[in-house]
Amino acid sequence: MNIHEHQAKEILKEFKAPVSNGIVIYSKDEIEDKISILKGKQYVLKAQIHAGGRGKAGGVKLIKNVSDLVSEAKKMMGKILITHQTGPEGKEVKRLYVEEASDILKEFYLSCLIDRESSKIAFISSTEGGMDIEKVAEETPNKIITTKIDLKSEGPSKEEIENIISIFNFDESQNNVASKLVQSLYKILIEKDASLIEINPLIITKENKIICLDAKMNFDDNAIFRRPEILKLRDLNEEESAEIEASKHDLAYIKLNGTIGCMVNGAGLAMATMDIIKLYGQEPANFLDVGGGASKEKVTAAFKLILADKNVKGILINIFGGIMRCDVLASGVVEAAKQVNLSVPLVVRLAGTNYKEGKEILDKSNLKILSAADLNDAAKKIVEAIK
């Protein structure tokens, strides 16, 4: 789960990390009253959307006086921002964040995340703040330090912290602040079940103060049930409506840009199914894993989700029955197809538990369903069908 920058900064403040004073605005009517709280001479106006590249799209502006700030805030509220992460449709700005501007001397990069490969917590620090860290890693890897540490209750050791911040070449006073910041990020990661915390840029001002100028946080969806305070930060305006609906039925669904809808049980099989669709020259419209023990109702909800996507020209269902019984899947598909008046080609490949019973249910349904012998056959048939 993602949250907005202003929410991430509130969490940073809670854990004693250095953050500029700022206010969040939810409507044009609030602008003038809320801005009066700030005391800076210059301000930074930021659109709050769940996407990077806001600055290049006109979503981050340095403002030199209050009258211009009010004017620019009114223009930005409701604007559609198109960045490299939003897609061509862009995202509407429904909230703004205004903070007192900082006089920047130098920019750095600092993040921590769960490193799944090593089962450790990785801190990434770099002298190249304000830039895309993937680009820095590719072009100037010597400007990045990655420090992987074991999960422990007392947090990173003094030596580990020194290694994390060594690339910054701070003075003693700055090192003390940076050390406490590293400890704060570690605590947030553990105590809030965050999967990523990124400070980009981390800055030093001309007054030699360290400030987290921008902040991004992601949280583990699987741990949200024990973090109600984090769940409250969820902004449904920033999520696909289909993905919101999928979460209600405990379905793992991600909308994509293709034309062939996929319903599969198991993440690995789902990835393989999408790969073979691409192999035959088409693009998947979604990732959808119905899980190992899906009920008839869950399968029906999944089927409706796929068909709600107007780009879908055909559907490929690929089920390998283990805990998931093929007859249950077939019953759900038949029920959903009748409810929505199925009008696109449907190819079904069943294997495993009760696949014969499942095939019989599909054959007797009087629906136009193409059966496939294996995954390769299924991919060929759905690609040909939509042509």
pLDDT (tens digit, 9 = 90+) per residue, 237-249?
887 777 887 888 7
341 vs 106, residue with greater confidence: 106
Residue 109 among the catalytic residues: yes
- The helix-helix angle for 326-340 and 296-307 (nearest 10°) equals 50
Pairwise CA distance, residues 302 & 296, whole Å:
10
pLDDT for residue 324 is more than 80:
no
Which band of pLDDT confidence, cut at 50, 70 and 90, is reported for residue 294? low
- Both tokens assigned to 322: 């283990």
Neighbour-count burial of 209, counting CB atoms closer than 10 A to its CB (0-12 exposed, 13-18 middle, 19+ buried): middle
Helix (H, G, I), strand (E, B) or coil at 188: helix
Average pLDDT across the chain, whole number: 90
Kindly report the backbone phi and psi dihedral angles of residue 285, in degrees, each rounded to the nearest multiple of 5, phi listed first: -90, -15
Active-site pick, 107, 198, 253, 355: 198
Pairwise CA distance, residues 53 & 44, whole Å:
16
Report which of 365, 326, 367, 320 is spatially closest to residue 343, judged by C-alpha positions.
367
Q: 151-177, pLDDT tens digit by residue?
A: 887 889 999 999 999 999 999 999 999
**pLDDT recorded at residue 90:** 87
Q: Which residues on adjacent β-strands are paired with residue 149? A: 121
Q: Which residues contact 87 (CB under 8 A, 6 or more apart)?
A: none
State the DSSP code for 2.
B
- Nearest-5° angle of CA 53, CA 47, CA 138? 15
Quick one: average pLDDT of 90-114? 94
- Both tokens assigned to 150: 């074991």
**pLDDT recorded at residue 337:** 80
**pLDDT recorded at residue 210:** 96
Which band of pLDDT confidence, cut at 50, 70 and 90, is reported for residue 134? confident
Pairwise CA distance, residues 160 & 16, whole Å:
20
pLDDT for residue 339 is more than 90:
no
215 vs 54, residue with greater confidence: 215
**pLDDT recorded at residue 266:** 84
C-alpha separations of 100 from 23, 46, 161, 383 in Å: 9, 11, 29, 55
Whose tokens are 């995202």? That residue is 91
pLDDT for residue 293 is more than 70:
no
**pLDDT recorded at residue 211:** 96
Q: Name, of 30-39, 91-100, 128-137, 317-326, the range with top average pLDDT.
A: 91-100
Helix (H, G, I), strand (E, B) or coil at 108: strand
Residue 253 among the catalytic residues: no
Which band of pLDDT confidence, cut at 50, 70 and 90, is reported for residue 365? confident
Instruction: Return the number of other C-beta atoms located less than 10 Å from residue 48's C-beta.
Output: 22
Q: Which amino acid is at 236?
A: L
**For the whole model, what pTM was predicted?**
0.78
Q: Which residues contact 194 (CB under 8 A, 6 or more apart)?
A: 188, 217, 218, 219, 220
Pairwise CA distance, residues 32 & 290, whole Å:
48
Q: 198-224, pLDDT tens digit by residue?
A: 999 999 999 999 999 999 999 998 899
307, 258 contact by CB (below 8 A): no
Quick one: average pLDDT of 82-105? 89
**pLDDT recorded at residue 176:** 95
Domains and CATH numbers, the chain: 1-20+103-237 (3.30.470.20), 21-101 (3.30.1490.20), 240-386 (3.40.50.261)
Active-site pick, 5, 97, 107, 109: 109
Quick one: average pLDDT of 30-36? 86
DSSP string, 22-59: EEEE-SGGGHHHHHTT---SSEEEEE--S-S-TTTTT-
State the DSSP code for 321.
E
What's the maximum distance between 2 C-alpha atoms anywhere in the chain? 77
Helix (H, G, I), strand (E, B) or coil at 263: strand
Q: Name the percent of the chain lying above pLDDT 70.
A: 99
Which band of pLDDT confidence, cut at 50, 70 and 90, is reported for residue 292? low
Q: Which of 4-8, 14-18, 186-190, 367-371 comes out lowest in average pLDDT? A: 367-371
142 vs 367, residue with greater confidence: 142
Which band of pLDDT confidence, cut at 50, 70 and 90, is reported for residue 236? confident
315, 263 contact by CB (below 8 A): yes
